[in-house]
Structure 1
């Protein structure tokens, strides 16, 4: 065991001891965060306009601060972007994380000197928690790769601007920098395919022990490695590769193909970082749920997902949530986001400690006929059948067909890229349909009531989704294919790949 691995174990034990303290009393931790946020932001423009000086508890807060998405908060963010101080948070942000939204165009998410360390600490603690639980630390002596966006930063009114992953790249602790790949020059390549080719060349003969990234883009990296080596499995290229760290999408639809590419099962850690804050990470290999970070500069609120579009939806603190219920996640952060709807949905699977699963996006659902099918349901439906039949799936998405041919009922249309198409696609489709009926009672009722016909699966050409993302200029980085659409925009583009 190398010196880094040896030293990491007592350090991990010390860190986990601190985590366990707040984990056992997450409600107190949230109360402390709430009080600190209100106190810090009371002198700001937002704090003055929303009566922070009179807020004593969560009920006062709800009465004074409405729920907003980026567009709702934009008048304040625009003032921050042009260089005004003390608007949403004290002073100016340290960075802007630049993202793109479907309705907002370019979004500038403020990151403060108080919030940035929480991103770094959470990523570090996810690894240290793994070391403490498993005793496996040798990976810290090898090379680690983080497939991410370009670290090139620009300036906007004196504030550094870049992708979140690019910003974080500048802040990786010194003790990890020597082990970290790819090189800065390679990381700066903007074209994703050119970048992955360069990463393959740079890493092919290195002792890679940890690989991190969004699963579909890691799969692309693995495919290119295999091509370069005449079809070798990843386990034969990187003999000491032992840990996969991922986030951004549910791993399960990709797990079978990634493990097939590797050639064996491998330990994995799921993380839930966002530009708005680092929200949760998997803290044990025993289950796939994520520990909600109750002491990380974020005060959480939750809206029952089925009330999200109501005029006055129910707003709940962590103390009020119920298990196995779908909630829209709302953030209040030490970077100055207030009542901020991040757009994700989660459900709690434990209160001791508070642990979540990410179930989808609030805008990514199908309810063209009143069924309100969510991402978690379609993923579980197709994966249960695929796993049972040994079928590997590369990627998929679902859309409603509300204008079927004359004489036919409407239906859900699934666009699926298989590694190998099932021999009997109709039988496969029927099993998936039955699985979805069992997941969603509304969908079951619509099938039973002959409002909908059973779903139809369209098998797509190899690399259909990669080609689609390339054509859209969204290949690589943090970009993801939506699992669900409530319209036909994506479906109409994918029809040419059937």
Structure 2
């Protein structure tokens, strides 16, 4: 029987989607308005003064005055904000800093302002409402929902609250969902990830779980523990669980494993959140790509990944992008990030409306021999290969082997298999062929005998969890890089004796 909450969700979803259509149908105008508003608001800030915002009337003016920066380049301004100085990157002081662990710059402090914070919450809500509007399925709002996230415990620094993004967002769960949310506040505050997952399993097992969300690799850990405790499929334990919400990594490599753990197919919603902004969410169940959010206080620029490291690469706005091109995404936001390189590469799957997929990280690629292999390509190659076999993959990463003991260099694929595997030679051939079909540079290097076909190295059960634990990044928003252009991860896997 439908609850009142489930019945009310449908007209509310229709109302919100109708409002959203206003900017979806006017994308270029919407982005121009966002740009003008951002410049206007920040003209009197230290950054705005330093970069002559008062003279910025259009994107061309902006490009002349504001270079693309990553966190390290913006750090001198951020440090002033962290020290408590107001009006540096954005008027006033931020409400929060989302603290993230950068790969090259140590801890990063990403500001969240009173203008930017609501957009994170609204986008997550609208993703669910969009699903309700499309499918008519709203019964799940009556059950229990869980988001596997970082601790909501915050610390104050110079009058600004500091914590992980997912922990900060936990403070903004709408009142009407408070009774539905899990785990308990006390459990959510547990810092040690393994202890936390055990507590979450204990709390959720007796409940009517209808929505489960989080980064797939960590949700997998939760599902496995449920199966260990009960001896049942997750879908049998939680009979009304029918919606999985995820973000952070591509779900495809995990899909077969999840369907096996759950015991049936469930609908899913993909999100594209980051500390720097909530960029996109899945708008349609049967269409590839996520809807790029153009009215959320973020102005987007795009640089072709092939030219990104050139001296003066062309910075495109939305009106000039093309479907299928690998772009580095650059953002300016109402949190005070200006021409900021998020580090992600995206591809447009549509321009009516503007939908994107995350294709990888600009720093996470393999081009040790000029092959320019990106995350999307290895994930697609693996997906094609396992669809034609009985292999089930838990996790993987890829690194170049430049100086093998024998023969030509090659790409080494470290794969943790879910099922018992003795011979991976067939799978290696299929992956290699699929990768050659996608990437002409890689094809040429194989055919030209510069590289030999890839080799698979099997990782022990839970080996990647052990690796992440060894570097202090187990759980939360931490993700295993799919690709490295060096051997740092590979060497650590060998050093920890995680090879099967």
What TM-score do the two structures reach when normalised by structure 2?
Answer: 0.98
Q: Which residue of 1 aligns with 2:418?
A: 419
Following superposition of structure 1 onto structure 2, how do residues 444-483 of structure 1 map, counting pairs within 5 Å? Answer: 444-483=443-482
- SS at the partner of 2:310? coil
Contact 1:422–1:428 (CA under 8 A) maintained in structure 2: no
How much has 1:436 moved relative to structure 2? 0.6
Question: 1:294 maps to which residue?
Answer: 294
Contact 1:292-1:356 at 8 Å conserved across structures: yes
Match of 2:30 in 1: 29
**Aligned residue number for residue 227 of structure 2:** 226
Aligned position for 1:178? 179
**1:300-320 residue CA offsets vs partner (Å, 9 max, x unmatched):** 000100111111111110111
Residue deviations 1:336-393, cap 9 Å, x none? Answer: 0001000000000101000001001000000000001000001111111111113210
Identify the residue that residue 349 of structure 1 maps to in structure 2: 349
Structure 1 residue aligned with 2:116: 115
Residue 314 (str. 1) matches residue 314 (str. 2): yes
Q: Is the 8 A contact 2:95 2:114 kept in 1?
A: yes
Partner of 1:197: 198
The DSSP-based 3-state class of the residue aligned with 2:301 is strand
Question: Partner residue of 1:441?
Answer: 440
Matched, 1:268 2:275: no
1:473 and 1:262 mapped to 2: Cα distance? 29
CA distance in structure 2 between the partners assigned to 1:82 and 1:157 by the alignment:
6
Whole-Å separation in 2 of the counterparts to 1:481 and 1:52 = 39
Q: CA deviation at 1:422?
A: 4.2
TM-superposed deviation, 1:288: 3.4
- Contact 2:288 2:349 survives alignment (8 Å): no
- Equivalent-residue separation in structure 2 for 1:371 and 1:137 (angstroms): 46
* 1:385 matched residue in structure 2: 385
Deviation at 1:420, TM superposition (A): 2.0
The answer to whether the 8 Å contact 1:396/1:417 transfers is yes
**Aligned twin of 2:427:** 428
User: Do residues 48 (structure 1) and 17 (structure 2) align?
Assistant: no
Mapped partners of 2:60, 2:80: distance in 1: 28
In 1: Cα distance, 2:152 partner to 2:240 partner: 27
In 2, distance between residues paired with 1:133 and 1:426? Answer: 43
Aligned to 1:4: 5
Checking the alignment, whether the CA contact within 8 Å between 1:361 and 1:375 is kept in structure 2 is yes
Structure 1 residue aligned with 2:401? 401
- 3-state DSSP of counterpart to 2:452: coil
Aligned to 2:39: 38
Distance 1:74 1:451 in 2: 41
**Structure 1: tracts of 5 or more residues without a match:** none
Query: Does the Cα contact within 8 Å between 1:421 and 1:459 map onto a contact in 2?
Result: no
Give, in angstroms, the shift of residue 421 of structure 1.
4.6
Q: Count residues in correspondence.
A: 496
Distance 1:290 1:431 in 2: 29
Deviations 1:68-99 (A, max 9, x none): 00000011000000000100000000100000
Question: Residue 255 of structure 1 aligns with which residue?
Answer: 255
Alignment of 1:131-150 (within 5 A): 131-150=132-151
Q: Does 1:244 align with 2:244?
A: yes
1:364 paired residue number: 364
**Structure 2 equivalent of residue 20 of structure 1:** 21
Match of 2:486 in 1: 487
Give a deviation string over 1:155-210, Cα, whole Å, max 9, x none.
01010000000000001110001100000000000000000000000000000000
Q: 1:431 to 1:422 in 2, by over 3 A?
A: farther
| Structure-1 separation of matches of 2:420 and 2:327 | 35
- Report SS of the residue matched to 1:433: helix
Q: Distance in 2 between matches of 1:458 and 1:421?
A: 14
